[in-house]
Structure 1
Amino acid sequence: MTDHGVRVAAAPRTAAAAVRHTRTVLEVFRGRPVTAVGELLVVGDRLVLQDLPRYAPGRQLSVRAADETGLSLAVVGAPEEAEELGVVVGPDSSGAEVTVRCREGEGTSPFRRRCGAYLERVGALAVAWADRPRVVGAAVVEEGMLLAQQRCCPARHAGRWELPGGRVEPGEDEAAAVVRECREELGVDVRVAGRFGTDVPIPGEPGMLLRGYLATLADPSAVPWPVEHRAVRWLGAEGLTEVDWLATDRLLLDAMRGVVEEDRRRALSE
């Protein structure tokens, strides 16, 4: 493997979002999607990248990891689906360090050369996104179940599901915004337990940045209710794909599943 690295003046979870940016991957590595993909790559997406000369034209890559630790693209059908491109994101004293790994092999130099261009684009995106207004999304988890709420408005979003949350007010701490939004939208108090997933850019002008937070009910006997929404619903890991999520929240679906499964394992071990 050949490594290329860059330091990024943005939070690691923001840098990890830039690493997942679909258009950047496709444009830099001259690719096209095989399956429908969104703003950010998610596990299971398939791509064709052109600068892989040692493979037959049209050989597909599958996204086998895309989270706050980085990105992994593996060749479909290759022995053990060997990783072709891996990106690792970690903390650095000034923000984040992003390292990209690509396989060595005959005829791979065009692909390797593009890794540097990819890192430049990732760094620029992460810095630009870091200045956006913040929105928080709360993964409220209890006994291996996650709370989702169904929108009633505006019309284009009616009937679709999302995490509780909303915009961080000027001068407000992000964790405090999670508590306030859950109180306003669900009529309950929550305790913030940390972060989950990568940040998610929300398209628009000037655009916003969604940050996911883990939370639990401050009073486990409290009953959330849809103060501003059509309905609320508790979902297990297997039920997360049964509802129609808003496009932005869908980009956190793998991370949601991970926290639900971890909470379920913890509950079973106690």
Structure 2
Amino acid sequence: MPVLRSSALIDAPRRTVAGLLRDAGVSAEAMRRCGHRFAAAGPLVCLGQTVRFGVRVLPGVRVPMRTRITAVSEEGLESVLVTGPLPALRHRTTLTETAAGTLLLDEVSWTSPLGRLGRVGDVLLGRGLVLRLLAARAETLVERVAQVASRPVVVATAVVRDGAVLVAQRSRPAELAGRWELPGGRVEDGESEADAVVRELREELGVEVRVTGRLGTDLPLADVLLRVHTAELAPGSPEPRPLEHAALRWVRAADVADLDWVPADRAVAADLAALLR
């Protein structure tokens, strides 16, 4: 079984690099640079999602492949092939935060088809193809890190109580009305993320909260960087009220996946369910 490893040092926090690994635009650009094609259902890949590739093996010849995301967290991302010519193809990316940045380690393994002929193909074609693609992705990640560093930060908040998370139903804009989200908003100049969480929930829900941590990866969106925090109601806080939303709900782990989330917050649905469990 061939096993290829590649590493790169990315000058950014681990959660940011992890978020960019989920960015379909990063994968699409890396694939394009190597002559391949990439397609995902949305801008951010999620746990359990299947993504499609068109892998160029010869000029004008692309092999269709599909992989399923089997793990995604601030520690990295894993996928396994579900359709394609390489049995047991697995790709694991592990992220380790260091004083110099985030160390990215890729490990790709597969079973060679066609016996000895397949092993020859691995040497002549497969290994070089994989290593070029990993190098292109590392190059693209370095470029995207510089871009997202200048984006405004938006905070979303998972307020947890008694094994349930508070979700809010959007009333606007029209394309998002009726869908559910974690409450929050943009971090103002000179404001810490924790202070933004407290202020936004006071404005949107009329509550006082205590910030307790972070949840999941950073989420690079079109023009902002979304970061999800966890919180609990402060002692003596009023009950939440939908001051800027159509409705509020307390949702338990079993119901998280079925909620009609706004696209950005769906990316942390698996993290939410795990937190509540």
Task: Report the TM-score range of the alignment, normalised by the length of the smaller protein.
Answer: 0.7 to 0.9
Match of 2:187 among 146, 149, 168: 168
C-alpha displacement at 1:251, in angstroms?
A: 1.6
Cα offsets for 1:118-155 (capped at 9, x unmatched): 11111221231122111100011112111100111222
Is 1:23 aligned to 2:25, yes or no?
Answer: yes
| Deviates further, 163-172 or 107-116 | 107-116
Change (3 A) 1:112 1:220: farther
Q: Any conservation in 1 of the 2:208–2:237 contact (CA below 8 Å)?
A: no
Cα offsets for 1:173-204 (capped at 9, x unmatched): 1011111111111111111111111111221x
TM-score (norm 1): 0.85
Is 1:14 aligned to 2:20, yes or no?
Answer: no
* Structure 1 CA distance for aligned equivalents of residues 19 and 196 of structure 2: 21
Aligned to 1:5: 7
Aligned to 1:43: 47
Q: Any conservation in 1 of the 2:159–2:231 contact (CA below 8 Å)?
A: yes
* Structure 2 CA distance for aligned equivalents of residues 178 and 247 of structure 1: 20
| Deviates further, 93-102 or 192-201 | 93-102
Cα offsets for 1:22-59 (capped at 9, x unmatched): 132234232443xx521111112223334497xx9434
Q: Any conservation in 2 of the 1:26–1:49 contact (CA below 8 Å)?
A: no
* Structure 2 CA distance for aligned equivalents of residues 216 and 148 of structure 1: 13
C-alpha displacement at 1:87, in angstroms?
A: 1.0
Aligned to 1:146: 165
Please report the RMSD computed on the Cα atoms of aligned residues, expressed in angstroms: 2.3
| Secondary structure class of the residue paired with 2:216 | coil
Structure 1 unaligned segments of length 5 or more: list them. 262-270
Is 1:229 aligned to 2:245, yes or no?
Answer: yes
Larger Rg: 2
Q: Which amino acid aligns with 2:45?
A: L
Q: Any conservation in 2 of the 1:51–1:111 contact (CA below 8 Å)?
A: no
* Structure 2 CA distance for aligned equivalents of residues 63 and 159 of structure 1: 28
* Structure 2 CA distance for aligned equivalents of residues 193 and 82 of structure 1: 40
| Deviates further, 38-47 or 18-27 | 18-27
* Structure 1 CA distance for aligned equivalents of residues 97 and 137 of structure 2: 19
Q: Which amino acid aligns with 2:18?
A: A
What is the total number of aligned residue pairs between the two structures? 252
Aligned to 1:249: 265
Q: Which amino acid aligns with 1:119?
A: A
Structure 2 unaligned segments of length 5 or more: list them. 113-121
- Pairing of 1:84-233 with structure 2 (within 5 A): 84-103=90-109, 106=122, 107-109=125-127, 110-203=129-222, 207-219=223-235, 222-233=238-249
Q: Any conservation in 2 of the 1:102–1:112 contact (CA below 8 Å)?
A: no
